[in-house]
Structures are given as C-alpha cells and as structure tokens.
C-alpha cells in the first residue's frame, strides 16, 4: 500500500505511529507527489478526490491525507483553505488575525482516505486546542502556533512521539488501522463512512 503526499513530515509521523502499533503489519511505501486539492467545503471530499487521483497514479492500494485548522473566533477559518492560507498568510498572518481576540480556541482535523482498488473509505481524527500568542521556533506547518488541549506545549516543540500522543493524524490513523485489522482478519467492514 502507498501513502501518497508531497509532505515528508506527514509520512514521518505516520511511520513512527505504525512502528508503535505492533499488532498491525502494514507495509506502507511513500510516493512523493502533489495531488490536486478540489474546491470543497468538506475535508472528506477533498481527501476522497485525492485518493481517486492517487489510485489512478499508482494502480495500487493507497492512502492519502487532508488536514484543516479550524479557528473558532474566525468562524472556522482557515478550515479547508488551510494549505492556501499557510502558503499566503503563514503563521504570522494567523496571529495578526487573532490580535484582538480573547478566544483562541481551535481544532485540527485529519481525514485519511483509503482507495483499496474498489472503493474509497475515510477515517477522521479531530482534536481541540489553542492558538498561541507567539510563534514558537520549531515544527512544520501550523505546529509552531498550535497548542493541543491538556498540555501547554505547542506541537512545534514536541518530539514525534509526544506529538503523536496528541495528534489529529494519530487518531485518524488509528481509526484506519482498526478498520484495516478487522478487514484483513474477517472482511467485516463496519466503517460508517463507507462509500460503495
Ligand atoms: P494539507 O492540505 O492536508 O497538506 O494541510 C493543510 C495545511 O495544514 C498545510 O499547510 C499543512 O502544512 C498544515 N498541516 C497539516 N497537518 C499539520 C500538522 O500536523 N501540523 C501542522 N500543520 C499541519
């Protein structure tokens, strides 16, 4: 099975997670490739379309991932536009938008879409947290400004192991692995997001 993405950080985090889920034996190969992001107000739809495109390219089982940062006081902006907003406004732009806002609550969502050669399934992970007042030094993407709930350490200052303890990606991957295990053992698919 392939993981298709242009983002090495996502693959590194996923591989670290896979190595700690010892009951699951899944050999995941990395195909580095930028997939099209359709215009949609649903991360699930974006992820599904990426999965169709990735399958066309690899002709093998694939998983892809799409993420979004949803900031409460900005009416869930940047949400599905997170990638574009990161590339244009960046973390500084986000902090500027929040300059006078007391409410800094935000959530991070990950959608993993699997194309198994016949159908596409999605698996979701969502966490809540806060946008920091300052940009912390390290980390990729929004990691330097996102502090997950139940800690005061931003993602950017966590090692892989600790980030995975809190991360939206870990939850989505865990959902996928539960499905994968069940499906490989007894073909019993009870994923509610199943698409025929
Ligand atoms: P994408 O479209 O799935 O690549 O993600 C949307 C935006 O969120 C991109 O700018 C990513 O860099 C960023 N992003 C996705 N996941 C994470 C994460 O775990 N930490 C920080 N930023 C992330």
Residue 159: which CATH number? Answer: 3.90.950.10
- Mean pLDDT along residues 4-33: 90
Find out whether the beta carbon of 7 lies less than 6 Å from any atom of ligand 1.
yes
Sort residue 90 into left (φ over 0), alpha (ψ -120 to 50) or beta: left
DSSP state of 41: S
Per the structure, how many domains does the chain have? 1
Q: What are the backbone angles phi and psi of residue 73, rounded to the nearest 5°?
A: -75, -5
The Cα–Cα gap between 100 and 133 comes to: 11
CA distances from 78 to 86, 106, 115, 140, 187 (A): 9, 10, 27, 17, 38
pTM of the model: 0.92
Taking only the tens place, the pLDDT of each residue in 85-110 is 999 999 999 999 999 999 999 999 99
- What domain range is 106 assigned to? 2-194
The Cα–Cα gap between 34 and 16 comes to: 22
Quick one: pLDDT at residue 189? 46
Quick one: pLDDT at residue 21? 75
pLDDT above 70: percentage of residues in the chain: 92
Quick one: pLDDT at residue 147? 98
List, by residue number, the catalytic residues.
66
Residues 6+ apart with CB under 8 A from 129: 105, 106, 107, 108, 146, 147, 148, 149
Find out whether the beta carbon of 70 lies less than 6 Å from any atom of ligand 1.
no
Q: Give the tokens for residue 115.
A: 């194309």
Q: Give the tokens for residue 47.
A: 């992820």
* Alpha carbon nearest to ligand 1 atom 6, residue: 83
The pLDDT confidence band at residue 22, using thresholds 50, 70 and 90, is low
């Amino acid at each position: 099975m392939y993981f298709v993405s242009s983002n090495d950080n996502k693959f590194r985090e996923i591989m670290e997670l896979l190595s700690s889920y010892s009951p699951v034996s899944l050999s995941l190969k990395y195909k580095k490739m930028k997939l099209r992001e359709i215009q949609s107000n649903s991360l699930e739809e974006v992820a599904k379309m990426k999965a169709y495109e990735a399958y066309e390219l690899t002709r093998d089982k694939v998983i892809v991932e799409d993420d979004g940062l949803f900031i409460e006081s900005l009416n869930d902006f940047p949400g599905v536009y997170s990638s574009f907003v990161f590339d244009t406004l960046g973390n500084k732009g986000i902090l500027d938008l929040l300059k006078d806002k007391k409410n800094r609550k935000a959530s991070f969502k990950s959608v993993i879409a699997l194309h198994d050669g016949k159908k596409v399934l999605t698996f979701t992970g969502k966490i809540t947290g806060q946008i920091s007042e300052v940009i912390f030094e390290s980390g990729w993407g929004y990691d330097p400004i996102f502090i997950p709930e139940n800690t005061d350490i931003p993602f950017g200052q966590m090692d892989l192991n600790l980030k995975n303890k809190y991360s939206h990606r870990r939850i989505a991957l865990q959902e996928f692995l539960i499905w994968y295990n069940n499906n490989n053992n007894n073909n019993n698919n009870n994923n509610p997001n199943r698409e025929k």
